[in-house]
With several copies, the nearest count.
Chain A
């Protein structure tokens, strides 16, 4: 059909766009309503689930980590919202399932981790193993009447708490040295050589320049430079009472 020129074409085009926009509007409206209905359906399912299993989620570490793992896989961050944020103010529905306790559990755990890292900073330079944090928290728990059989704080809980600190630009980072998870509470990253030296220390318990040269094939000055840097950051302590000077790491004590 030859394109009609002139006024007829003009209003034809207007008409087309008109229909298209109304069509688009209806599509959007149906889509929107479907989304909201689905949300409310999901919310109902959630509340039934929470009445049944909420206690599990709150105090069983295995369940908690399984729930958190699934959330991350489908892109949900239940810890994003404060536990007391009312729904109409952008609170998340997960608080119903988790209840303020679980959010508070992770946040309170994170508060305690921040405090432990800060207290031990001068001792270990700001690098501490997750297991040591766990044992310190349990010891503290006992001393504050926690009865020692504390809500089992698993390493996974600790790692997740530290992860949720990320938005605070805190420089709190979970890094892996060798096989153990460590928490670094100082902004400065470890370069490859430094991490390697700490790894060796984890295996042997200490390190000397000779050991580094033999095992890693580094030339002595390079090894010395790396060790001096680690000393400057207070990650290593020096021991000069037995033959060759040896370097130990309080964080892998």
Chain B
């Protein structure tokens, strides 16, 4: 079995217990579970951030490094994954797409943060008052460096709504696409 301690090969944000087999079994003991839960929460957020994942499709990611450690052949069972994501939802770090809880938005940065980032970027690039299509924002070649590059449309709308509520922007549909004007 790979030496449990040697985590040097793994990226920094991997949890300390990543190679600890029981990490993949929902612990019955309350104290152990609270530490297991917090490690899984931060791992999911960090993983999505590193891989720029806006949505977490539980079925797909079951086999990825996130929930499946091939070297020790351990997988986090689906019900436990749901339990962790539910906890993320409670602290508004996630949101289920639909009731059968198969896909969830993961806010590894809260919509408010994204909103202010977008606002200041538009301000710096002097595009205040001009209409920008959502696609431009997420796939435009001048936003490649931004954290929200490639963000999911529906999620982008959620972030822009924050600005709308603050009265700093207005979202409207341009043909079948959607545009936003920020002032």
Direct contact of A and B (CB under 8 A): yes
Can you give 25 contacting A-B residue pairs, CB < 8 Å? A122-B32, A122-B35, A123-B32, A125-B31, A205-B1, A219-B102, A221-B58, A221-B77, A234-B31, A237-B23, A237-B29, A238-B27, A239-B22, A239-B74, A240-B25, A241-B24, A241-B25, A241-B75, A242-B21, A242-B74, A247-B22, A248-B20, A248-B22, A253-B4, A253-B20
CB distance from B105 to the nearest CB of A (A): 20
| Other contacts beyond A238-B28, A241-B74: 6, CB < 8 A | A222-B78, A225-B77, A234-B29, A248-B20, A253-B5, A253-B17
5 tightest Cβ-Cβ pairs between the two chains A and B = A237-B22, A234-B31, A239-B22, A122-B35, A123-B35
CB distance from B170 to the nearest CB of A (A): 41
Q: Tell me the bound Cα distance from A239 to B32 in angstroms.
A: 13
Within 8 A of B (CB), among A169-206: 205-206
Q: Tell me the bound Cα distance from A192 to B156 in angstroms.
A: 41
User: Quick check: A239 and B25 within 8 Å, CB to CB?
Assistant: yes
Residues of A within 8 A of B23 (CB): 237
In this assembly, does B73 line the interface, its C-beta being within 8 Å of a C-beta of chain A?
Answer: yes
In this assembly, does A250 line the interface, its C-beta being within 8 Å of a C-beta of chain B?
Answer: yes
User: Quick check: B31 and A122 within 8 Å, CB to CB?
Assistant: yes
Q: Give which listed residue, A123, A205, A228, contacts B4 with CB less than 8 A.
A: A205
CB distance from A135 to the nearest CB of B (A): 10
In this assembly, does B12 line the interface, its C-beta being within 8 Å of a C-beta of chain A?
Answer: no
User: Quick check: A219 and B20 within 8 Å, CB to CB?
Assistant: no
Q: Tell me the bound Cα distance from A246 to B4 in angstroms.
A: 16
Which chain A residue shows the least CB distance to B79? A225
Q: Tell me the bound Cα distance from A121 to B29 in angstroms.
A: 13
User: Quick check: B32 and A234 within 8 Å, CB to CB?
Assistant: yes
Within 8 A of A (CB), among B57-71: 58-59, 62
In this assembly, does B146 line the interface, its C-beta being within 8 Å of a C-beta of chain A?
Answer: no
User: Quick check: B29 and A232 within 8 Å, CB to CB?
Assistant: yes
Q: Give which listed residue, A122, A220, A228, A248, contacts B34 with CB less than 8 A.
A: A122
User: Quick check: B22 and A221 within 8 Å, CB to CB?
Assistant: no
Chain A residues near B (Cβ < 8 Å): 121-123, 125, 205-206, 219-222, 225, 228, 231-232, 234, 237-242, 246-248, 250, 253
Residues of A within 8 A of B27 (CB): 237-238
User: Quick check: A239 and B58 within 8 Å, CB to CB?
Assistant: no
Q: Tell me the bound Cα distance from A247 to B21 in angstroms.
A: 9
CB distance from A149 to the nearest CB of B (A): 20
Residues of B within 8 A of A206 (CB): 21
CB distance from B128 to the nearest CB of A (A): 41
Q: Tell me the bound Cα distance from A246 to B22 in angstroms.
A: 8
Residues of A within 8 A of B5 (CB): 253
CB distance from B12 to the nearest CB of A (A): 12
Residues of B within 8 A of A125 (CB): 31-32
Which chain A residue shows the least CB distance to B4? A253
Q: Tell me the bound Cα distance from A239 to B77 in angstroms.
A: 12
Residues of A within 8 A of B17 (CB): 250, 253
Which chain A residue shows the least CB distance to B1? A205
Residues of B within 8 A of A123 (CB): 32, 35
Residues of A within 8 A of B62 (CB): 221
Q: Tell me the bound Cα distance from A221 to B32 in angstroms.
A: 24
Which chain A residue shows the least CB distance to B77? A225
Within 8 A of A (CB), among B64-102: 73-75, 77-79, 102
Which chain B residue shows the least CB distance to A220? B59
Residues of A within 8 A of B21 (CB): 206, 239, 241-242, 246, 248
CB distance from A191 to the nearest CB of B (A): 11
Residues of B within 8 A of A241 (CB): 21, 24-25, 73-75
Q: Tell me the bound Cα distance from A238 to B24 in angstroms.
A: 9
CB distance from A138 to the nearest CB of B (A): 15
Q: Tell me the bound Cα distance from A228 to B75 in angstroms.
A: 11
User: Quick check: A238 and B1 within 8 Å, CB to CB?
Assistant: no
